[in-house]
Structure 1
Amino acid sequence: MPTRTTLAAAVLGLALLAATTACEIPTTATTHASPAAASAGLAGLPIAPEDTGVHYDRDDWPHWSPVHGTCNAREQALLDQGQGVRADDQCRPITGTWISAYDGATVTDPSTLDIDHVVPLAEVARSGRIEHGHRVGPRTWTRDQRERYANDPDVLIVATARANRSKGDSDPAHWLPNRDRCGYTTRWIEVKTRYHLSIDQAEHDALATVLAHCPEGGAR
């Protein structure tokens, strides 16, 4: 049975974001950007009202697709973000230890964990805009592009069901985790930058407020 212990929740650094296209999935992962780099990234995000006219259906975003051998994206996230993880021959984690990213809870039963999209699927769907008279953003994505986002390991994070449900599809103007808000905010900006997503004004202001209080080390 496979055993894997890796760095949890690594994401693509802002230095690489400008070089990637909207729907690429990175082949390697790097660490979080510094708060200063995140602030620069925030300044580069387009500000626009949420695209509330978009039709969102979770079934239009195929998730937990096969990503590696018999592992689907959920199982791979549990393998990557846990410690001492043991899985069965179908890649289903059966034992291990996980630290919930949002509330710091220690969990040993993987069936009680959620795999969250840092920027929720519904929030992504609303993060489009009009530029030069043309609609840009997720409204124009194909089903394959939506599937790639929904299974991108760099946007998946392990959390307790309670913490994840409290977040729902909220952006940082309406919800922030109890722990590591600096890391969460930085990662939110990285994902929105990488996928060329817009932010609304309240979202921008909430992100900026958190970053203004972050030490250069990033944790808080």
Structure 2
Amino acid sequence: MRKVYARRRLSILATLTGLIASAALFNSPSASAALPTPVSGATARSYLSQLTVAAENRTGYERSKFPTWITISGTCNTREWILKRDGSNVTTNSSCYPTSGSWYSPYDGATWSSPSDVDIDHLVPLAEAWDSGASKWTTAHRQAFANDVTRPQLLAVTDNVNQSKGDQDPATWMPSRTAYRCTYVRAWVQVKYYYDLSVDPAEKSALQGYLANC
């Protein structure tokens, strides 16, 4: 295997250890923050060219094999941390549950004032990750993936939009807001590259098409 993948695996393992063992050390996010900026279109195209192309395999998948949500900071779990990061004027109670604020969903352009109307989307869905290589990971590795607040992998969006997306990849689902699609595919490729996940032929073709315009 190429040395770059070996180095990346070492980096992943170090990140996993820090994320799981020292999650409480994360600083609280500001209310004006958003999805970490993905790599550029040119970098995403380069990353995509290096991803393994392989058929997907759903055998043995269970969502419980990707534990969510873990404590990220103080009393805030991953969902609450992302709600604070992605919202505007968010206030929380002592348990870190949002008591006020608003959330703009970049997938569909809707704004919500109740956290119950907002889901935290795994940009690369958990089942998709399983199909693409996560079935071989340890539970700790899958937990880190499912709670990754460092990569552009978690995003607060309209709940029914997230539910309609399900476990689909860009070959069959994209945000209805065309203005967000370049960000979406750049983030998708960055996450797959970082975690050394494969793409299937239709997925790669769709990504190539969208990235051509980024």
Instruction: Tell me the TM-score normalized by structure 2.
Output: 0.82
Aligned residue number for residue 113 of structure 1 = 118
Please give the secondary structure, in 2, of the residue aligned with 1:116: strand
Indicate conservation of the 8 Å contact 1:20/1:194, yes or no: no
* Residue in 2 that maps onto 1:166: 164
Q: Residue 42 of structure 1 aligns with which residue?
A: 48
Task: Provide the rounded CA distance (Å) in 2 between the counterparts of 1:110 and 1:121.
Answer: 22
Q: What's the secondary structure of 1:21's corresponding residue?
A: helix
Of 135, 158, 174, which aligns to 1:176? 174
Provide the residue aligned with 2:141 in structure 1: 145
Over 6 Å off, 4+ runs: 26-29
Whole-Å Cα distance in 2 between the matches of residues 20 and 86 of structure 1? 38
- Unaligned 5+ runs, structure 1: 1-16, 129-137, 215-220
| Counterpart for residue 195 of structure 2 | 195
Count of residues in Structure 1 that have an aligned counterpart in Structure 2:
188
Residue type at the aligned position of 1:38: A
Query: Which residue identity is paired with 2:75?
Result: T
Cα distance in 2 for partners of 1:114, 1:20 equals 32
Identity within the alignment, % = 43
Report if aligned partners of 1:61, 1:143 keep a CA contact under 8 Å in 2.
yes
Q: Deviations over 1:80-124 (max 9, x none)?
A: 111111001110111111111211111111111000100000000
Return the letter of the residue paired with 2:165.
K
Instruction: Point out the more displaced range, 58-67 or 186-195.
Output: 58-67
RMSD between superposed Cα atoms in Å? 2.0
- 1:192 is displaced (CA, Å) by 0.2
| Structure 2 counterpart SS, 1:158 | strand
Report the alpha carbon displacement of residue 20 of structure 1 after superposing the two structures with TM. 6.4
Q: Of 95, 103, 126, which aligns to 2:131?
A: 126
Structure-2 separation of matches of 1:147 and 1:159: 21
Q: Distance in 2 between matches of 1:79 and 1:20?
A: 31
Q: Which AA in structure 2 matches 1:182?
A: C
- Cα–Cα, structure 1 residues 38 and 177, in superposed 2: closer, same or farther, change >3 Å? same
Higher helix share: 2
Cα deviation, 1:145-167, whole Å, max 9, x if unaligned, reads: 11111111131111101210110
Q: Deviations over 1:134-179 (max 9, x none)?
A: xxxx222111111111111131111101210110000000100112
Contact preservation (8 Å) 2:192, 2:198: yes
TM-score by length of 1: 0.80
Distance 2:52 2:99 in 1: 43
Q: Which amino acid aligns with 1:63?
A: T
Retained in 2: the 8 A contact 1:21–1:194? no
The answer as to 2:64 corresponding to 1:59 is: yes
Q: Please report how far the alpha carbon of residue 51 of structure 1 lies from its aligned counterpart in structure 2 after TM superposition.
A: 2.0
Aligned to 2:124, the other structure's residue is in SS state: coil
1:22–1:196 Cα contact (<8 Å) kept: no
Superposed CA offset, 1:15-60 (max 9, x none): xx958634525889952222111111111111111123x3111111
**1:14 alignment counterpart:** none
Alpha-carbon distance between aligned partners in 2 of 1:65 and 1:19, rounded to the nearest angstrom: 22
